[in-house]
Amino acid sequence: MLCTNSADLSNSMIPLAGILIVFAAVIGGFVMESGPMAELAQPAEILIIIGAALGSVMVANPPAQVAKTAHAILAVFRRSTYTSERYLSTLVMLSSVFHFVRRHDARALENAVEDPSASPLFSRHETEISPEVVEFVCDTLRLTSLATISGFSMDEMLENDLETRRAAAAVPSEILARLADSLPGFGIVAAVLGVILSMGAMHDAPQLLGMKIASALIGTFTGILLAYGVVSPLSDRLAKIEHAESEYFDSIRAALSSFSRGMPVAIAVECARRAIPEDIRPDFNLAEQRCREADHAMHAQPALSARA
C-alpha cells in the first residue's frame, strides 16, 4: 500500500516537475550564454501580460466557468482518480444494483433510487463511488422503474447524457487552449509598449537605449514561454483528464445499456469491464470474485432485505 501511495504521489508531481524543467532549461541556457539574470526580471512586463491574459479570460467566459477552470488546474497536480481499483469498485456496485433489480419489484427499486444515501444498496459503496456516479445510475434506474424503455432508446438517452457531460468537462481545457493562443500576442503588446518607451529615450546613450530595447523584448519572450511551456501543456493535460472521466462513464453506460436489453447481470458487468482501458482494466477473475462476495454480503445484510 505504501508503494502504491508513493507511486501515486510521484505521478501527481510529474506535471510540476515538467514545468520546473522547462524553466530550468530555458533560464539555465540563458545563464550558460553569460546572460544577466537581472535583465529577465521585468515586473512591468509580467504585469501587462498576466493581467491582460486574466482579464481576457474573464471577458470571454462566465464566472462559473472561470472558477471551474481554476479548480480543474489543481486537479492536474493530484493523482488520477480513475484507477483500476476504482473501476473494480464500480463494477462491484453495478453488479449489486443489477442483482437487486432482478430480485425485487419496482416499488423496492423506486425506494432505493429516490434516496440512495439512505439505501444500503448504495450507501455501502459511498466510500468508493462518487455521488455523481450514484446519481447517474439512479437517474437511469428511475426511468426503467417508471416505464418500459427499449435498449436502443436507453443507449441513445445515455449517449446524449454523456455527450452533454463531455461538452461541460471540456470547458477548462478549451479555455486554457485559447489562453495559450493569446499569450504570445500579449507578449508582443508588452514588447511594443517597451519599444515606445525606448523610442522616447533616443537621446540616451546607445548602451542605455540597447538595454531598454532588450527589456522590451522580454515581453515577447515571457508570453511565448508561458504559452508553450506552461499553459498549453496544462491544457493538454486537462484534456487527458477529461478523456479519462469520459472513459469511466462510458464503461458505466455500457453496463446500463446492456442490462436494459435484458442481458444477464454477469454479461452486463463484463460489457462494462471490456469498455475499460486495457492498461487499467481489472482482471476478469478478480472482478468476478469481488462481485460474488458483494452479492453474498448483500444477501446477508438484514437492513437491505428489510428495506426491500
Half-sphere CA count of 220, side-chain side, radius 13 A:
11
Note the pLDDT of residue 116.
83
Note the pLDDT of residue 9.
47
Tell me whether residue 16 is in a domain.
yes
Nearest to 245 by CA among 146, 147, 166: 166
Q: How many domains does the chain have?
A: 1
Phi first, then psi, for residue 276 (nearest 5°) are -80, 140
Query: For residues 83 and 76, what is the distance between their CA atoms, to the nearest angstrom?
Result: 15
**Structural domain span for residue 24:** 1-37
Note the pLDDT of residue 53.
94
Tell me whether residue 29 is in a domain.
yes
Tell me whether residue 13 is in a domain.
yes
Note the pLDDT of residue 58.
94
Tell me whether residue 27 is in a domain.
yes
Tell me whether residue 1 is in a domain.
yes
DSSP SS3 for 263? coil
Note the pLDDT of residue 177.
96
Tell me whether residue 308 is in a domain.
no
Note the pLDDT of residue 50.
92
Tell me whether residue 15 is in a domain.
yes
- Distances from the Cα of 165 to the Cαs of 28, 68, 119, 157, in angstroms? 43, 14, 26, 13
Tell me whether residue 231 is in a domain.
no
* Structure-block grid coordinates of residue 285: 477473475
The pTM of the whole model exceeds 0.85? no
- Tens-binned pLDDT, residue by residue, of the chain (308 aa): 434 444 454 566 788 889 999 999 999 998 888 888 877 888 888 899 999 999 999 999 999 999 999 999 988 888 778 889 999 999 999 998 898 888 877 777 788 888 888 887 788 877 778 888 888 988 888 877 665 666 677 888 888 989 999 999 999 999 999 999 999 999 999 888 888 877 766 666 666 666 677 777 888 899 999 999 999 999 999 999 999 999 999 999 999 988 888 889 999 999 999 999 999 999 999 999 998 888 777 666 554 444 44
